[in-house]
Structure 1
Amino acid sequence: MTPDSSPLRYIDDAPTDPKLVRAARPVLDRLADQLADAPVTILLASQDATIVDRRAGQRSLLGRLDRAQVAPGFIFAEECAGTNGIGTALEERKAFRVRGEEHLLEALHPLACVGSPIVDPVSRAVTGIVDITCQVDDVNELMAPLVLSAVRDIEERLFALSARSEQNLLREYMRSKRRGHAAVVAMSRDTVIATPTVSRLMDSTDQMMIWDWISTHLAAKDEWEGPLRFADGIDVRVHARRVGESTDPLSAILELRPLASPAPPRPRARLAPAAPAGAAPATRIAGRSLAAHRLQDRVDEITATVAPVLIVGESGVGKTHLARQIQYRWGRHDPVPSVDASMLTPSAVAELRARLSGSFACIIEHLDEVPDDAVASTRRLLDAAVELGAPVIATATSSTPDDLRHQVQTHVRRSVCIPPLRQRIEDLTDLARELLAAELPDRPTPQLQPAAHRALIDHHWPGNLRELASVLSTAAARSMGFDIKLEHLPADYRTLGAGRRLTSLERTEREAIVRALDESDGNKSLAAHRLGVARSTLYRKIRALGLENETFGS
């Protein structure tokens, strides 16, 4: 059976943790030599249950394994393959035996296996699985002890690698300090050491952002220099250099220098009512991307004067949430009623218009879905709101509705567009912190661990913030309110990319391809025609940009 027709998910050139590979290779080599004539095979799987290595095994066994897709590249996570020695051991975080029909998949019924998780001694995260598999008739009681012994040896090597790497990192950190740099950070996957100057500026969100930054720029280079912005809006220039060899797990020394602060903006005349004494401060837009700062500037401009506003954006980007933020900044601290425009009738619109004279505030959602018989009255309502300067905010999913409804939207003179999450993915950490704080208001806000953060960054987020909030809610429940690890994410969100971040040009290209596929309901031939490229080119782009597992269209 080929990967394309397999019931299991398959990843060509599956990414592996180089530290795990370095620690496991000599142990697997030794074990493969010991079992060269035995009717068993040895499997190494990554932390997302993808088989990355297969050793030893007699020809008859290897043929059966191939037919059952027990081979590198196939994902044996429990949600994909049911009960099995890799995925179930990962879920249980302990050694697990599966024999014959205990496997969910019928293709695995002739097999028996023992799998055990590899736990990094430093981070305590599961980094992989060792599994020994054989045919049911060849089961041997020594399989479990062999697996556990191999796991212990790999974990000892992981600890030794971590210790040596951390010593090198500390040595380079002290050298940078002795050279007179006041703002130095030493960082690896599991360690952050910072001088007091940096510690006062950097919170856990900044740490994750910096790790993502160096993971991107030092993936293929030994040094990189560029600007960064901390969560508090402080801009710095960072010179980062890799510590150790390119084959070693990534660690780096960062030397930070402040950038000149921009001139403060001229104060605007603010006509909106001031918030009463003791009120909670106005909420700012979460994020540090250029898109987030532009959105914040536009919101600041809009809230300076009370008058109708149209908020446009894709489904799930947070239009209603932003509408309530704007109403709050206009001094509306009590809940503001919202109206679904798709349910409006002429009489309901007339009632709303009659209440405008009392500066009645409201949020009209889905303005681009006003029923035909309510279009004319809605236009008159918006004209009256503009004339009175009423605190009315409308939202719309489409910026280019059909002609009839476009006439409605043009009656709101001021507008703001919220970009989709995929266009401000560098804001994900800040957005996640805000969403998790709202999800767990009475507990310390959990943080995204690096592997979970990388997996979420690599996702396309067609459902935007609504989708992110749902994923984080599930993850927070699984983590019981503690920091969120990769295994706490829903299954479809755990796949780690190869570690390379897309460039701005690639993101733009990816967006164009996604839009074409959505408009074509996933028909790749039609999408290729829309884009003006050959179908073979589109297939290559889909694979290169990580879109193979996305669903398109309605």
Structure 2
Amino acid sequence: MALEEVRVEEIRRGGGVAAPRLSASWRRSESYGVPLDAVNPAFTGAVDDQSLFSECGNEVLHGLRDTLAGEPVSLMLTDADGLVLSRMCDEKALVDALDRTYLAPGFAFSEREAGTNGLGLALADRAPSLVRGDEHYCTGLWGYTCAAVPVMDPVFGRLVGSVNLTTWSDKSDGLLLALAQMAAGHTSALMLARGRGAEPRPTPRGEVFRVYSAHRGAEAPPELGRAWRAALDEVVAALRAGQVVAVVGETGAGKTALLGTALRTVHRDHRILNARPPNPRDAEAWLALWTPELAKETTSVIAGGVDALPQWAATELAGIVAAAPRASLAVTASEAAAIPAPLARLVDVVVEVPPLRRRPDDVLPLAEHLGARARGREVRFTPAAVKAMRTFSWPGNVEQLRRVVREAVTRSDVVDARHLAPEVLCGSSRTLTRIETLERDEIARCLAEPGVTVTRAAEMLGMSRATVYRKIAQYGIRTSD
């Protein structure tokens, strides 16, 4: 009987049922070569306790610690790799036991290091996880019950770490996971507040939509610059050679657009599906919804943001592709190293899409293309608007340009600098408070009006000219020459 079957039978005899996630985690643990009878995680000797996540997480856990005073519960914070950043516990016996199993700051407890455990499973599947007693892969952890919840950056959506609550395995775990979820939610909310008013990133929904081939009415993309064309040529060559392609780059840089253009060039008769990453809790339904399309010879699939997939879903998707020799699959991710291992093994070629700030020649043709789509007719941009857009850093890449252009063309068919969002007219790199943002926007709007000098802006704003000059420097507002 295989190891996994033995462990499942053990759990069932104990009155529990091994869930598919737990079973998949055991298989991964075995493939990593984690020993069954010893906990031997890697030790780094140093942790990053200065990050925003660490600061906010520890503040939340300190408050929860006061609530749980007298309870045998250890509260921990880990980074995205499972490295324990901090640990709080008032029961000496539990602290001593945790020390003996190295569940302490400076030690890494990912699945690769320690096998199936609460925090490792939460990080691997990006979903709340509760691992009790002998559900742990390593017998050295059977004395504990661990509840862990991943924490995502509320603005950028990337995994930053986890909150982990650990108690004795013979204690009640009824509220443990709920408390961990509450702490993770409060940590994310506090990070957003400390981020000084940034907008939270929407939760992935796992939508599937179709991009039709060129002869069925797909819109022709604009002519872009050398960097884009080089990336496009590389993807087209790989697709023609029958290779699996991964396109990587920053959020909003145009990874899916690049793949869609390349697929329409190579497979003109194909229907193209783009499967966005799901909420981890919806991964099973997400897979069931669109993966049958992989078996169809005239369908190409773009699996977007695979670095956000739970490990078990990535493994399942890799198995589906391997079992369908004619499957046409391409993937996108933030970087090559972030592609889950089961899918990374299938990838033949990795192509990077440079961010928009490294492609200034693409800004105007993209803006004209996006403006025409939003307005329904041709739009133009004045030299002042073009200069402002070309010199802006576009941290949100093409998605940010799309938003700025869509807003601007509602005001005019000829877009001037004064029609652009104030953020484009400023060069401040720090995040502003809500009041600072309002002040910056109002100054930028005044200065963007035709013929308005600093002196005139000061009069309009009710400020002294010296104050306006100081604010221009403070916010990095670019004035016309």
Q: Which has the larger radius of gyration?
A: 1
Q: Which has the higher contact order (CA 8 A, sep 6+)?
A: 2
**TM-score surpassing 0.5?**
no
TM-score category of the 2 structures, normalised to the smaller one: 0.3 to 0.5
- TM-score (norm: length of structure 2): 0.40
- TM-score (norm: length of structure 1): 0.35
